[in-house]
Chain A
Amino acid sequence: MKFKLLQDAIIASYRTAAIVVLLTVITGVASYLSLLVFYAVSDSWAAPIRLSPSHEKVLAIQPQVATIEASLLNQRTALMKAVDEQDLLKRSTGDVSDTVNQLATAINADAAAMNVTSAALGDVIKEKEAVVREADKAVAAARDLLLSSEKELAAGLITQDVAAARRLTAQSAITAAADLKASLAQLKYQQSQLSRGASASKGSGKSVQGVQLVQQQKELDTTLVASNAQSLLLEETINALRSTIVEQERLLAVAKQSPFFRARSEIVHVAFVPYSNLKSMQVGDKVYDCLLQVVICSEVGKVTRIYDAEDYARHPLFKTDLKGQLVELELSDKTASFSQVIFIGGRPLFL
């Protein structure tokens, strides 16, 4: 009897357990299949994401922003330096240009003066040559006098003193003639120097000094050209830096608008919305969170912003990879951010 009662109890327990198991399985399978169908047709679901300062994407964006800021700072500094360098270069280029002009003017003036002096010297040389010719004649006469003095001295026609005085006079005449010739030669040399100097300033290369002057002039010209080239380069560098800075500032502004950046100091509630569901969404749409995935839903907030950047996430049921965008949420019930799925725009099954 007891065994029979035990058997009946076992049977009863088994049947109860079997019913519970079967009902659970059937309910589970039916729910799963229903969810599959629901997610296949629903276009209002979104996956909430709670961005905290320790979120990996929040942490990842900070060094990126810092890098942009550092790069921007470097470029601004480089721009300032380039601008200063350009100013300095402009001033030195101006000085060099003035010097070149002055040198050219001086060279021309020198050449003109040399020409005049050379012409004047030419006249002097002619006069001097005439004098030299006269001197030569005097020298010849002096030499004759010397000869005759010797003869006369020898003949005793003149005294030693007279002979000596005659010799002195003749010698003075000869020396003076020689001096005249020397000075004439010097004058001719000076004249040739001046004419060579004047022609060297035109580039003929016949005077060392002239060549040196021309060399200096060329060096100054080269320095001027180099300065101009450097100035152009600096100009391009400055333009490039300016456009880069503008771009970096734009990038920085965009990065700072990202929710991941804003979440570095506070929790930001966003939701991933796949592209297929984004079409019907707009700022201001109400957000709903449901108790059993899709039923018993309540309003928990609204959409405050739709971000442009593309993002990726996994489908909450199918676990397939999806592309979409993030939307920012203003949640009245913060616990909704812990749900797997929320709905935007309306209750999914109107429940």
Chain B
Amino acid sequence: MDKIIEILKEIRPEFNFSESSNFIDDGMLDSFDIIALVSQIDEAYGISIDGMDIVPENFESIESIENMIRKNGGAI
């Protein structure tokens, strides 16, 4: 979880992701932020997230991001 929060803070340092229950609905991540997030997750976890998993609902929360990473072979 810490690694993901660190990446999120690097992408959007102005937001406090711990206080949000839905990063997408709260306007904290736009489509380009998602791309930047995927790119950094791929590098940090040594995986390549399947393009079909790059949909907003997989980026709503830390939990959904972690589930997506696990699904794509990353170790949380």
Binding between chains A and B: no
Using a CB–CB cutoff of 8 Å, the interface residues on chain A facing chain B are: none
Using a CB–CB cutoff of 8 Å, the interface residues on chain B facing chain A are: none
